[in-house]
Amino acid sequence: MKKYDVIIVGSGAAGMMAAWKAAKAGLTCLVVEKGKSIVSSNAARCGGPALADTRLQETEQATVTVERLYSYMYEYSRGTVHAGLLRNAIDKGREVETALQEAGIEMTLMEDTYGVGFRARHFFRTPVQQRWQMLQDLLESLGVTFCLHTEAKRLLQDANGTIRGVAVRNLAEGREEEPEEELAADSILIATGGYLGSEEMIREHLGDIHVGALGSRLSDGAGIRMVLEAGGILDRNWGICTNEFGGYHSKMKKGMSSNMYFAIGGGLLVDRNGRRFMNEQRMSDKPLSLGGESTVREGHYYAVLDDEYYHALDRGTLYDYYGRPEAWHAGRTVHDCPQNHRAEDLEKDIEQGYAAKADTLAELAKKCGLPRLEETVAEYNAMCDRGYDGRFGKTAYLMKPVRKAPFYLFAYEQSAWCTIGGVKTDEYCRALTPSGQVIAGLYVAGMDNGSCYCVPYYDNEGAAVGIAFTTGLVAGEHITGGVS
Ligand SMILES: Cc1cc2nc3c(=O)[nH]c(=O)nc-3n(C[C@H](O)[C@H](O)[C@H](O)COP(=O)(O)OP(=O)(O)OC[C@H]3O[C@@H](n4cnc5c(N)ncnc54)[C@H](O)[C@@H]3O)c2cc1C
């Protein structure tokens, strides 16, 4: 049996950082990746990470200290994540930057899109097709071996439960009949990117909802399952990192419709009964986190528009429509750009079965099967006239009545960049048993780690991949004996 010091399952954000750390310490390291190519992971395609204390921040005189980012995220989590793990992860921001720079990958520092009060999000400038290849080249030059198109199937343990290796299967055509290969290692890191590709796990943990996968379906929960089979336990936070660009519907076949944007437009949203179910400002201001979370609860939700709102985007931006209120941070940063609102999309949306148009609200309600819609709109319009949302507390500047016929309805479901929820670990990413014992030799990082992401998802952009990169380093450091 081939033997390595460390085997890393998954060549995404967490996996590549752990491999870098292991290789730098002179350990023999194998990365097993299910995808055919090195750009299969979500990390290879993502926007960029939230990191603390980077040189880039220093240059722009916008340093976000480790303490600041840690306190912000831990408070946001309300103590539902492992404080020690989160702190260890956030400590590693500068080191992530070092590794990426060593590979020649360029980033810039983003503005504070959602008004969290600091600029932690970095954005990749190096194009998708190149950047992960550059990282692989660096790691190979440091001695890391890559095994692409190869799926980890199960963990190998000795009689004491200590992890001794992993069984893998090569997925290349013509090799289906070959037996699994067993590979030995002193340490295994599971970093397979969550469970967006598993409808079963989504149903099990999030309820009977459909979640459109904006990320890779190769991440199908196999990593989490393998750890459970080896005696691990799940942590308690389960959710998704939702699409912040607008709505989604599984019936949407012919490309993205411009009408999907109304999901985050701040106007009236209703549930399957035609009742309001949230403060819609959460969607216009924090769609990735708080807003997205409220819609996951509903599964299906609907934007109801009058003709004035519907055509407002032909004339200007959403920020214009609401009168450019100075107090509206996301209005300025997110909603002040033209939406390329296409008239032909409406026809297509109606034809595909997730939109409707009617001359009266009664007709719209009947067409769409939303029994309480008329009553909801009457109540909502009265509150708009008073300029006060007495039900959910939406800010006055977003209270616009739904009054001018014809009326429009767009139905939405959730879509996600990645999932939240997975294995319970200690502060060094070591997998734990139900009694809190460490499973010797077994580490879990990135989205498979259930102990460092909260629900709702953090509201500072870049948290998902930021924590994935940094927990990869936390695990890598422990594997190399950097901490005890
Ligand atoms: C288009 C897009 C844009 C995004 N933008 C952002 C952003 O700007 N900011 C942000 O914070 N987050 C963003 N995300 C989310 C971010 O990419 C993820 O949070 C991050 O990549 C998670 O890292 P990871 O290491 O856990 O998993 P991944 O990076 O997804 O890597 C997991 C790897 O494991 C492999 N794998 C799965 N199962 C197996 C198996 N059984 N055997 C071997 N290999 C396996 C997968 O193929 C994959 O390559 C984005 C996601 C997408 C899809």
Distance from Cα 44 to the centre of ligand 1, integer Å: 7
User: Does the beta carbon of 219 lie inside 6 Å of ligand 1?
Assistant: yes
Residue with tokens 């609200």, as numbered in its chain: 361
User: Does the beta carbon of 31 lie inside 6 Å of ligand 1?
Assistant: no
Q: How far apart (Å, rounded) are the C-alpha atoms in residues 450 and 303?
A: 33
**Residues facing 305 on adjacent strands:** 408
User: Does the beta carbon of 373 lie inside 6 Å of ligand 1?
Assistant: no
Strands 355-358 and 407-412: antiparallel
pLDDT per position as a tens digit, 68-87: 999 999 999 999 999 999 99
User: Does the beta carbon of 216 lie inside 6 Å of ligand 1?
Assistant: yes
Which domains can be identified in the chain, with CATH numbers? 3-239+419-479 (3.50.50.60), 249-412 (3.90.700.10)
Is the pTM for the entire model greater than 0.85?
yes
User: Does the beta carbon of 446 lie inside 6 Å of ligand 1?
Assistant: yes
**Residues facing 147 on adjacent strands:** 32
Q: Which pLDDT score, from 0 to 100, does residue 19 have?
A: 98
pLDDT per position as a tens digit, 12-54: 999 999 999 999 999 999 999 999 999 999 999 999 999 999 9
Would you tell me the crossing angle of helices 13-24 and 128-141 to the nearest 10 degrees?
20
As a three-state string, the secondary structure of the chain is CCEEEEEEECCCHHHHHHHHHHHHCCCCEEEECCCCCHHHCHHHHCCCCECCCCHHHHHCCCCCCHHHHHHHHHHHHCCCCCHHHHHHHHCCHHHHHHHHHHCCCCEEECCCCCCCCCCCEEEECCCHHHHHHHHHHHHHHCCCEEECCEEEEEEEECCCCCEEEEEEEECCCCCCCCCCEEEEEEEEEECCCCCCCCHHHHHHHHCCCCEEECCCCCCCCHHHHHHHHCCCCECCCCEEEECCCCCECCCCCCCCCHHHHHHHCCCCEECCCCCECCCCHHHHHCHHHHHHHHHHHHCCEEEEEEHHHHHHHHHCCHHHHCCCCCCCHHHHHCCCCCCCCCHHHHHHHHHHCCEEEECCHHHHHHHHCCCCHHHHHHHHHHHHHHCCCCCCCCCHHHCCCCCCCCEEEEEEEEEEEEEECCECECCCCEEECCCCCEEEEEEECHHHECCCCCCCCCCCCCHHHHHHHHHHHHHHHHHCCCCC
* pLDDT band, very low/low/confident/very high, at 132 (cuts 50, 70, 90): very high
Q: Which of 21, 417, 420, 458 to mutate to test the pocket of ligand 1 (most atoms within 8 A of CB)?
A: 417
Weakest mean pLDDT among 137-151, 232-246, 338-352: 338-352
Strands 107-109 and 150-157: unpaired
Which atom of ligand 1 has the smallest separation from the CA of 151?
Answer: 42
Q: What does the pLDDT average to over 284-291?
A: 96
The region, left, alpha or beta by phi > 0 then psi within -120 to 50, assigned to residue 274 is left
Distance from Cα 376 to the centre of ligand 1, integer Å: 40
**Residues facing 163 on adjacent strands:** 157
Q: Is the pLDDT of residue 464 over 80?
A: yes
Q: Is the pLDDT of residue 205 over 70?
A: yes
Q: Is the pLDDT of residue 254 over 80?
A: no
Closest Cα to atom 49 of ligand 1: 41
Closest Cα to atom 35 of ligand 1: 10
Q: Is the pLDDT of residue 482 over 80?
A: no
Q: Which of 39, 45, 46 to mutate to test the pocket of ligand 1 (most atoms within 8 A of CB)?
A: 46
Distance from Cα 471 to the centre of ligand 1, integer Å: 13
* pLDDT band, very low/low/confident/very high, at 483 (cuts 50, 70, 90): low
Distance from Cα 268 to the centre of ligand 1, integer Å: 33
pLDDT per position as a tens digit, 333-345: 999 999 887 889 9
Q: Is the pLDDT of residue 484 over 80?
A: no
User: Does the beta carbon of 14 lie inside 6 Å of ligand 1?
Assistant: yes
Q: Which of 154, 256, 447, 465 to mutate to test the pocket of ligand 1 (most atoms within 8 A of CB)?
A: 465
